[in-house]
Amino acid sequence: MSPLFARAAVATALALGVAGGALVLLAPAASAADLPATVVSTSTVGMDETFDVSGSGSGCIDTAGRPGNVDLRGPRFVLVTWVGEDGNWSTFVSMNPPGGGTYTIAVTCLLAGTSLSYPPITMTVVGPPPPPPQPPNWWEPGGSGRPPGQPTGPPAKPPAAPAAPPAAQPASPRTTAPTGSPAPDPTVTPPTTPPPAPTSGRSAVAPTPAAGCSDCERLTGEEPLTAGEELTLSYAGFQPGEQVTVVMRSTPVELGTFTADASGTVTANVTIPASAETGSHTLTLSGPVTRCCTSGCGLSGTTSQNRLPKAPV
């Protein structure tokens, strides 16, 4: 063979390609006849039953020795597996077609820039027959009909325009009595003015227990007090320097007079009289300027229903 003829044969057997801006020679892909038939572990399976598929040979390896991938496609599944450097590959498949019957699995070798087909696999799936095909929907090719909710008859007439509202009638002029006071309108109720609240020379702010006064909380608590018990009461809201008197009632018994400090807080160390009777009582703290502060208390033997909430008097 002459050198010219040999070069022409090589040019015929190789194809030109471009890679990285330079011309390279690519070997032609193997034909389908070069790919051997796949090996299947069985030809009949049940629904969702697994079976093995494998292949061998160098048909799915390119001329540079790089193995490709194998693509398997059947009813309701697509599977891709790798090919080993020796050309062998193996995978398992589970079929779940619409129903029992005979189906074909397409097997393709995927190489860079090309693909080759293995002989197809025919599998028989044991199971109930597939349901009959459904007609295409209205939006699919070959479908007919209208979208849901659209009327099937001629288009409806547009609604009539609403009637114009009646023209407003002019208001009749009001008439007044010629003499005397105007007659009152029977439909109008004259507003009532609430009577003024009574006023006193004392402050309108009721004192409140000072923070951290545990004995103040005991006065309204569930546990009753006992006669002869000592209490330390602390209330804020009085005038600085105001003289505050503590009185225990029902029968009034004065427990002492105490002076409010610069912040208006009075601290009173008092003792429940030993002669106090079992039952419900009230402690009041009052000064000449500030309203008194009342707390309910109960002595041993009372229940919580005998307690009185704090309230100004």
Domains of the chain, first to last: 32-126 (2.60.40.1930), 208-312 (2.60.40.230)
H/E stretch holding 126: strand 121-126
SS3 2: coil
d(CA 290, CA 206): 7
Asked whether the beta carbons of 301 and 224 are under 8 A apart, the reply is: yes
Q: What is the pLDDT of residue 211?
A: 82
Residue among 250, 240, 308 at smallest CA distance from 276: 250
pTM of this prediction exceeds 0.85: no
The reported pLDDT for the residue numbered 110 is 93
> Tokens 């309204």 belong to which residue?
220
Give the pLDDT confidence score for residue 146 in this predicted structure: 67
Q: 10 Å Cβ neighbour count for 74? A: 20
Return left, alpha or beta for 279; rule: phi > 0 is left, psi -120 to 50 is alpha, else beta: left
Query: How far apart, in Å, are the Cα atoms of 108 and each of 79, 86, 87, 119?
Result: 11, 18, 14, 9
Among residues 284, 270, 280, which one has the least CA distance to residue 307?
A: 280
What does the pLDDT read at residue 39?
93
Residues in the chain: 313
In this structure, what are the phi and psi dihedrals at residue 34, rounded to the nearest 5 degrees?
Answer: -80, -15
Each residue's pLDDT expressed in tens, for the chain with a length of 313 residues = 433 333 333 333 333 333 333 333 333 444 444 688 899 999 999 999 999 999 987 789 988 889 999 999 998 899 999 999 888 999 999 988 888 899 999 999 999 889 999 999 999 999 898 888 888 888 888 877 666 666 555 555 666 777 777 777 766 656 555 555 556 565 656 556 554 444 444 444 567 888 888 888 887 777 788 888 898 988 888 899 999 898 888 678 898 999 999 998 989 898 988 888 887 888 788 888 876 666 655 555 433 333 333 333 3
Task: State residue 312's pLDDT score.
Answer: 38
